[in-house]
Chains A and B, each alone.
Chain A
Amino acid sequence: MELNVTKLSKRYGNKQVLDELTLSFTSGSTYLILGKNGAGKSTFVNILSGNLNSDGGEIVLEAGGEEYDLESNAVFQYQSFNSFRFLKVKEVIHFFSTITVDAKEDPELYKLLSLDRIHNQLIENLSGGERKAVSLYLTFLLNKRVVVLDEPFSELDIEKKYLLAKHLKQKLADQNAMTIIISHEILGYQELFTDVIIMDNGKVLETGKTQDLLDKYPNSPFQGLEGVFYSLTGKYIEVS
């Protein structure tokens, strides 16, 4: 399955937030979209999810020459989960399980995100990190072929971040999913991303396999992907 984005544009007033963005994503790969705040990453994901209309361009999901509906094949994990505030965590998960034919429970992820400790709490009473955990679990519960994660590691504690990255790497490989991740947190998660897209000022500066980019930009004062980003933009990425 391929997701092809062609000449996608978005403008807010005088600011060109996305400037004829052209990208291609394939199943079985995990893409990191790397960029500073205001680079256009969230706008791009919001357009993909249907939250935002683009000014121009096209997004096509296809496999074997046949076009597929993006809406029914993709799931988007939002930065925070605010829906169904007066339901308990276990009730929300049960509700989504019953309304999704291919719902796939993942007891390991459930435990890893500590949902077993908060399953009797109302969404209303959860902290930001706990809401993020619910949002992440639901994203994978829906079991879609295209998965978009927006800052999946933020607000999680260090141990959880490490375990989650490890679990996701295995899970995404097993599911052969196409995964697009926006994250400022790349330190320690480099192995999770098979491909990297570097954006700045609404444009794609560079795209390629993680290792290829690391080999291509070796002479940076910073290590890893931060070094690649610095070599391309001359800017520091806000890593955590």
Chain B
Amino acid sequence: MVWNVTKFYLLEQWRNKWTTFGQIMAPLIFLIFALVIKNTMENKTVVDLLIKSQFLPFTLLILIFSLALSLNSLLLSEKKEDGTFLLLKRTDLKLNSYFMGVALGSFMIFNVLLILFMLSYKWLVGIDGAAFLNICLFANVTLLCLYPASYILASFFKQSKKVVAILTPITMLLMFSITMPSMFAMIQNQSPHIYYKFLFWNPMMIMNDFTLLELDVVASTWLPTYQYLFILIGMSAVLWFVALRMFKIADPD
């Protein structure tokens, strides 16, 4: 039954391609700009550094955000709103199987897009095989960590349009909490790592730091990789715990 749900979920996403395309617009813009500066700026070393330190990580971060949070919280709130879950409860499909089917579909879409973006950047700046694989694997762990947050988000709002409204400030919070410390650190001529103790709650920061290491932009990460993995898995467990307690398939008044 899980595979059946995945199959229909993928079919729906394929047919609803403008929404899916909207979700990957931002990472696509980063890729297009990377392509433009690669072909217009003369100092190739600076361009490669810029792409590796800014464009590539942000493409991945926004892609993770879109697939883990945006798309799924919208889907969940829409299904709550239109009574789909209540209807599914009348069938023999366990709702957990439905959620697993949807999650499997999201992970499949994510990985196809991730590989396409990574191959594009590999062609642009050259990424060695091991780094390519490590970044892809770590991106999946980050996605897994953030995914339950979509259930928490969908629990707060009865209407899908309210979820859309709240997604923008959340994106800004998650993204600016990475760019701002880097900027402060640069002004003070220090490493951004000095601010990371305040940002351990942000999986995007961890993904960003790990990506920069794999691309040889930084010599070391703030914490060793295994500690990053522990934080992400721990955070995922906490988010799942909260999501399971909070998420309801309907909002009875």
* A interface with B by C-beta (< 8 Å): 49-53, 71-72, 74-76, 78, 82-87, 91, 95-96, 98-101, 122, 138, 142, 144
Q: How far is the CA of A91 from the CA of B13 in the complex (A)?
A: 14
Q: How far is the CB of B95 from the nearest CB of chain A, in Å?
A: 11
Write the B69-106 contact mask toward A (1 if CB under 8 angstroms, else 0).
00000000001001110111111110000000000000
Check A142–B250 contact: CB distance below 8 A: no
Check A84–B8 contact: CB distance below 8 A: yes
Asked whether B16 is an interface residue with its Cβ less than 8 Å from the other chain, the reply is: yes
Contacts A/B (CB < 8 Å), 26 sampled:
A50-B86, A50-B89, A51-B86, A51-B250, A51-B252, A52-B253, A53-B253, A71-B89, A72-B90, A74-B90, A83-B87, A86-B12, A86-B15, A87-B8, A87-B12, A87-B15, A91-B11, A96-B91, A98-B1, A98-B4, A99-B88, A99-B92, A99-B93, A100-B92, A100-B93, A144-B90
Q: Which residues of B contact A83 (CB under 8 A)?
A: 79, 82-84, 87
Q: How far is the CA of A72 from the CA of B15 in the complex (A)?
A: 32
Q: How far is the CA of A49 from the CA of B250 in the complex (A)?
A: 11
Q: How far is the CA of A138 from the CA of B16 in the complex (A)?
A: 23
Q: How far is the CA of A143 from the CA of B37 in the complex (A)?
A: 61
Q: A87-B8, A138-B87 are in contact. List 10 more A-B contacts (CB 8 A).
A: A50-B89, A51-B86, A76-B86, A76-B90, A87-B11, A87-B12, A91-B11, A95-B8, A100-B93, A122-B15
Q: How far is the CA of A74 from the CA of B89 in the complex (A)?
A: 10
Q: Which residues of B contact A50 (CB under 8 A)?
A: 86, 89, 250, 252
* B interface with A by C-beta (< 8 Å): 1, 4, 8, 11-13, 15-16, 79, 82-84, 86-93, 250, 252-253
Q: Which residues of B contact A75 (CB under 8 A)?
A: 90
Q: Which residues of A contact B253 (CB under 8 A)?
A: 52-53
Q: How far is the CA of A87 from the CA of B14 in the complex (A)?
A: 10
Q: How far is the CB of B98 from the nearest CB of chain A, in Å?
A: 9
Main secondary structure of the interface of A (DSSP, over half): loop
Which of A51, A52, A53, A86 meets B16, CB within 8 Å? A86
Q: Which residues of A contact B15 (CB under 8 A)?
A: 86-87, 122
Q: Which residues of B contact A84 (CB under 8 A)?
A: 8, 12, 84
The 5 tightest CB contacts between A and B, nearest first, are A99-B93, A86-B15, A83-B84, A82-B82, A53-B252
Check B86–A49 contact: CB distance below 8 A: yes
Q: Which residues of B contact A86 (CB under 8 A)?
A: 11-13, 15-16
Q: Which residues of A contact B93 (CB under 8 A)?
A: 99-100
Q: How far is the CB of B6 from the nearest CB of chain A, in Å?
A: 12
Q: Which residues of B contact A95 (CB under 8 A)?
A: 4, 8
Q: Which residues of A contact B91 (CB under 8 A)?
A: 96, 99-100, 142
Return the chain B residue nearest A75 by Cβ: B90
Q: How far is the CA of A75 from the CA of B83 in the complex (A)?
A: 12
Return the chain B residue nearest A97 by Cβ: B91
Return the chain A residue nearest B17 by Cβ: A86
Return the chain A residue nearest B13 by Cβ: A86
Return the chain B residue nearest A78 by Cβ: B83
Check A99–B12 contact: CB distance below 8 A: no
Q: How far is the CB of B64 from the nearest CB of chain A, in Å?
A: 24
Q: Which residues of A contact B79 (CB under 8 A)?
A: 83
Q: How far is the CB of B229 from the nearest CB of chain A, in Å?
A: 36
Q: How far is the CA of A84 from the CA of B102 in the complex (A)?
A: 13
Q: How far is the CA of A87 from the CA of B84 in the complex (A)?
A: 13
Q: Which residues of A contact B87 (CB under 8 A)?
A: 78, 83, 138
Q: How far is the CA of A86 from the CA of B91 in the complex (A)?
A: 20
Return the chain A residue nearest B88 by Cβ: A99
Q: How far is the CA of A85 from the CA of B93 in the complex (A)?
A: 19
Return the chain A residue nearest B84 by Cβ: A83
Q: How far is the CA of A87 from the CA of B9 in the complex (A)?
A: 9
Return the chain B residue nearest A100 by Cβ: B91
Return the chain B residue nearest A73 by Cβ: B90
Q: How far is the CB of A194 from the nearest CB of chain B, in Å?
A: 24
Q: How far is the CA of A99 from the CA of B7 in the complex (A)?
A: 13
